[in-house]
Amino acid sequence: MQVSSNQFKQAASVKLADPNVQKALRNAKGKLVVARSRSILELDNFEEIRDAAARIRDFGLLHMDVLLEEWEKKAVAAGTIVHWAETPQQVNDMVIEIARKHEVRKIIKSKSMLGEETNLNHALETAGLDVRETDLGEYIIQQFGETPSHIIAPAVHKSKDDIADLFALKHGRPRLDDIAALTHEAREILRPHFLDADMGISGANFLVAETGSTMIVTNEGNGRMTTTMPRVHVAITGVEKIVPTLEDISLLLRLLTRSATGQSISNYLSFTTGPKRPGDKDGPGEFHVIIVDAGRTTVLASEIREALRCIRCGACMNHCPVYQNIGGHAYGWVYPGPIGSILTPAYVGIEKAIDLPNASTLCNQCGVVCPVKIPLPDLMRKLREQQVQKNLRPWPERLGLRLWAWTATRPAVYGFLTGIAARLGKWLGGRERLLHRLPAAGSEWTASRDFPAPSGKTFRELYAKHRNKGTR
């Protein structure tokens, strides 16, 4: 996907002013936050499960090399054809090559965020292939010609009316007003494509080392059809998705669906272990898995490695006060919200996403809800430090911080300057005791807020008087 993360501020401003987006976001926030908070009550040891999940993910990351080789051995034994891709470009090239070899014309896709990273649909279409998204949200987004704004609810920024208009236009049928009817119509439109597609493409939520399987978690059933109906199936997934055992998967699933949508369990869990075997009723004749690096091993070797624990539930964005107000598109790449503010600079380059690690209040609501305990604010702070070390911050900010540190380590100078500021502020605040306009960086504050004026003298001055009086 094109990276537009450095237009974050302007994009956020547009979203803040869009009443449709605001309404859709408000609606989604209510539903997802409440659903999660209810469903975790079903677990009486939720915090212990989170600890265990973090350990499982860390174990997988720490032993990634060994576990991936074990996975490959099992997968190959089951008949899977395994590919290793270092870059997004290689992923697209590999998929196109497989498609050419099998004379594929039509491809159906189940959801893949990694496919968004590599801009797979565009590459496939450019190669002359017909690509159909089959996840309902992804289908809607593809029809709009947009990109997902959320990792599990790609069309969360659209209202029912937006979608009703879209379907009437694209399907050439009478406009429907009922969500169930709209969904039914999408099924009818999609069904023939499932039946005559030559190739299916999916992602994978996890790779199971002990069985050599890929695994996906879905609700709509499109994932099951994508992985079993076409004659060729290609799964693409990142190296970090490796998990040692099925038992580990069962623990992670207790957290994944609850954190994502508030469901105790998803409607479908699909494990794929090799292609169709003799005697199997269905399944692809050929099953390819492309294991992708695309920046992950660099993150693994860095101070933000915990970000790779992510199991893509979306809870951090659902609970983020910034995401809740601007939605996902402003973040400018595949992954929005707190986890996106870490993965985007890590995968596309720190200088291409300067705003993201800074565009957080560090309220840590994300860290509190993360099912695998990624210390998201700490990682954002690490990236802020890297920006400073690489001289990527604007000079007025650097100068301001330097001056602040210089004075704050010199109490006499500090006391003198704050004494002036306290008096000046009080005088400017007048009888209302409010400052309506501040200069320089302060103007961002006073554009939409007043600034309560200081009360006139500093604590240190008043305390010195108070103490003198006391001892006299």
Q: How far is the CB of 299 from another protein (least distance, A)?
A: 18
Residue with tokens 């469901």: 263
Among residues 322, 334, 339, 356, which is the contact residue for another protein, using CB under 8 A?
Answer: 322
Judged on CB neighbours under 10 Å (0-12, 13-18, 19+), 364 is: middle
From the list 451, 444, 340, the residue with the least C-alpha distance to 397 is: 444
Question: Residue 289: beta bridge partners?
Answer: 82, 235
Rounded-to-integer distance, Cα 400 and Cα 104, Å: 59
Q: By CB under 8 A, which span of 73-81, 176-184, 221-229, 382-390 interacts with another protein?
A: 382-390
Q: Does 35 bind another protein (CB under 8 A)?
A: no
Q: Does 399 bind another protein (CB under 8 A)?
A: no
Of 98 and 320, which has the nearer Cβ to another protein?
320
Neighbours of 182 (CB within 10 A): 21
Please list every residue from 444 through 463 that binds another protein, using CB under 8 A: 444-445, 447-452, 454-460, 462-463
Q: Does 402 bind another protein (CB under 8 A)?
A: yes
Q: By CB under 8 A, which span of 133-141, 162-170, 296-304, 421-429 interacts with another protein?
A: 421-429
Of 191 and 390, which has the nearer Cβ to another protein?
390
Among residues 195, 368, 399, 424, which is the contact residue for another protein, using CB under 8 A?
Answer: 368
Q: Does 401 bind another protein (CB under 8 A)?
A: yes
- The 8 Å CB, 24+ separation contacts for 55-60 are 56/243, 56/244, 56/248, 56/251, 56/252, 57/243, 57/252, 57/308, 57/309, 57/311, 57/372, 58/306, 58/309, 59/244, 60/240, 60/242, 60/243, 60/244, 60/248
Of 55 and 393, which has the nearer Cβ to another protein?
393
Of 66 and 462, which has the nearer Cβ to another protein?
462
Task: From residue 150, give the alpha-carbon distance in Å to each of 89, 136, 143, 318.
Answer: 23, 13, 16, 9
Please list every residue from 339 through 358 that binds another protein, using CB under 8 A: 358
From the list 213, 197, 199, 314, the residue with the least C-alpha distance to 259 is: 314
Of 66 and 459, which has the nearer Cβ to another protein?
459
Q: How far is CA 271 from the centre of its chain?
A: 24
Q: Which residues of this protein are in contact with another protein, per CB under 8 A? A: 9, 12-13, 16, 321-322, 325-326, 358-365, 367-368, 378, 381, 383-389, 393, 397-398, 401-402, 404-405, 407-409, 411, 414, 418, 421-422, 425, 433-434, 441-442, 444-445, 447-452, 454-460, 462-466, 469
